[in-house]
Every structure is written in C-alpha cells, then in structure tokens.
Amino acid sequence: MPLMDLYVNGIMTVSRCKQFHLAEKERKMNRVITYTLMSLLLLALGCASTPTPKRGPFNSAFVTDGVYEGSSTIWPVKAVVKVAVENRRIARIDILEHRTMLGGPAEEIIPARIIEKQSTNVDVVSGATMSSDAIMNAVQLAIEGASKVE
C-alpha cells in the first residue's frame, strides 16, 4: 500500500501504522528467506564442479603421441574435449560437448590459444570466463592422463 494511504490529515493512524509495520516485517523475512535459499543454491552448485587442475605449459616429456579425452564441469558449464598430440605437441583440440549459455565464443578461441602457446594457462575470453576455464581444465585433464581414446 502506498505510503500516502497510511496518513489521515498528515497523521498516521494506529491501525495503518500496524499494517505498515507488519508489511515491512514480512518484506524483511522474505528477503532473509530469499538470500538463504540463494546461498544454499550457490553452495550446492559449487560442489557440482570438477576440481580445478593446475594449468600451465604442456610438458611433452610425459605424454606420448595419441588422442586423449578430458572433461570439466564448472556448473552450469560443461566441456568435453579430445586432444590430439603429434610429435609430442598439442596438434588439435576437438570440442565434443560444450554446455553453456553465453560462452560460445570460447569454443574456437581457447583451443587456438592453447595450441599456439602449448599451454593450458591462456587468457580467458571476455564474457565467456567459465567456458574458457572449463575448456582449459578439460584439456589439462586430458593431457594429465585421461584414458587414451585412439
């Protein structure tokens, strides 16, 4: 109810005053409940993520040529990649699955950066940070010894 309705000749009536305070208490309680539920949801979503591997330069001494697969989830983003290693270098990165809302631009840019630098620690794509991180993590996990596909 509008604040002006609470006043009669410039003075707040007792019944209107009680209604106003009850409505204000209800709004505060609704905010507390909303914030509590949002916090619980964020906590649950954080637990649904894949642990972050240590990203960095590709160490060719430990990986033989072949095709490796890795996946990473940073809720709500999921990336599944296939990484081809040729001559002990990352030669190709195929994205098999990429569930995202806004991170589409990262699908082409991040694999190209990883191949160019031979490192999974590259700059993220602006506006697609979670997708960039998920793709880098998936590539790193593939390289670290995910099961050999071919």
Q: Which residues, in sequence order, are CB contacts of 5 under 8 Å at separation 6+?
A: 16
* Segments making up each domain of the chain, as ranges: 3-47, 60-143
By 3-state DSSP, what share of the chain in percent is helix, strand and coil, each rounded to 5? 45, 25, 30
Backbone torsion region of residue 59, taken as left when φ is above 0, otherwise alpha when ψ lies between -120 and 50, otherwise beta: beta
The C-alpha angle 17, 15, 34, rounded to 5 degrees, equals 55
Helix (H, G, I), strand (E, B), or coil: what is residue 16?
A: helix
Domain spanning 60-143, CATH class: alpha beta
pLDDT at 146: 46
Q: pLDDT digit of tens for each residue in the chain (150 aa)? A: 455 555 555 565 666 666 767 778 888 888 888 888 887 776 665 555 566 677 777 777 777 889 999 999 988 899 999 999 998 899 999 999 999 888 788 999 999 999 999 999 999 999 999 999 999 999 999 988 743 444
Burial (CB < 10 A; 0-12, 13-18, 19+), residue 111, is buried
Query: What does the pLDDT read at residue 150?
Result: 47
The Cβ of residue 27 has, within 10 Å, a number of other Cβ atoms equal to 10
- Helix or strand or coil: residue 98? strand
pLDDT value, residue 149: 47
Q: What is the pLDDT of residue 69?
A: 94
pTM confidence score:
0.64
